[in-house]
Amino acid sequence: MTIIEDYLRTVPIVPLIEADDPLVAVKTAHALAAGGLNVVEVVLRTDAAIDCMAAIVADVPDIVAGAGTVLTVDQASDVISRGAQFVVSPGLVDDVARYCMDQGVPIFAGTMTAGEVQRAYALGLRTVKFFPAKLAGGVRMLKALSSVFRDMQFMPTGGVSADNLHEFLALPAVVACGGSWLTPKDAIAAEDFESITTLAREAVEIAQKIRT
Ligand code: 3PG
């Protein structure tokens, strides 16, 4: 079992961090860890995103940090060389998936249709992201997909929130839920890290009710 699988078994939630300042990213990661969340996905949507992820890897040892919104093999190579412990991409690109697998780094490639899940399966992936989870049919679609792909695990992301987290986590095929609801942009802008810790705690409580 990889480190991330181990962590997600305990707390099946992956908060997103979008930051353009490594110091803020590190504080956000500390705030999430204080609330009981120890896996973070730093999305490559700012110029400083890779520096932010690397700062978390270096400065927040109790956190497993990966990179999200990874679109190309070059980006995958960059983030892995800077310490990414897992890679997330919005869609499924065979070369990116193969590269990460060759490097021994878990990859959560985005899927939305049976065809995409089947392609991921053929590539050897047994865990995929389901994105955008709410718009793509939510829990009902996941139930349909997981009834066919019986040994595939899913990480729904996109439209997951404290309101529907319990519905997704109730599905055995859901390895974890990801999302940005735990790191609201206004809280980060105001450096209101306490509210991020509170959101993390709430999510952990929801997960514990469902999974224990
Ligand atoms: C992602 O990159 O997975 C999505 O942007 C997350 O979607 P959310 O903002 O609705 O959580």
CA distances for 55 relative to 84, 142, 154, 186, 209, angstroms: 11, 35, 28, 22, 33
Q: What percent of the chain has pLDDT over 90?
A: 94
Sign of torsion over alpha carbons 77, 116, 19, 5: negative
Residues whose CB falls within 8 Å of the CB of residue 71, separated by 6 or more in sequence, listed in order: 44, 89, 90, 93, 96
How far apart (Å, rounded) are the C-alpha atoms in residues 70 and 42?
A: 10
157-184 per-residue burial string, b: 16 or more CB within 10 A, e: under 16: bbbbeeebbebbbeeebbbbbbbbbbbe
Q: In a mutational test of the pocket of ligand 1, which residue from 13, 16, 75, 168 has the highest number of ligand atoms less than 8 Å from its CB?
A: 16
Q: Is 75 in the pocket of ligand 1 (CB under 6 A)?
A: no
Whether pTM exceeds 0.80? yes
pLDDT tier for residue 165 given thresholds of 50, 70 and 90: very high
Give the nearest ligand 1 atom to 129 CA. 3
pLDDT of residue 125: 97
Q: Ligand 1 centre and the CA of 182: distance in Å?
A: 11
CATH 3.20.20.70 describes domain 3-194: yes
Distance CA 1, CA 143 (A): 25
Mean pLDDT (whole number) for 58-78: 97
pLDDT for res 175: 96
* Lookup result for tokens 């991409």: 89
Ligand 1 atom with least separation from CA of 43: 2
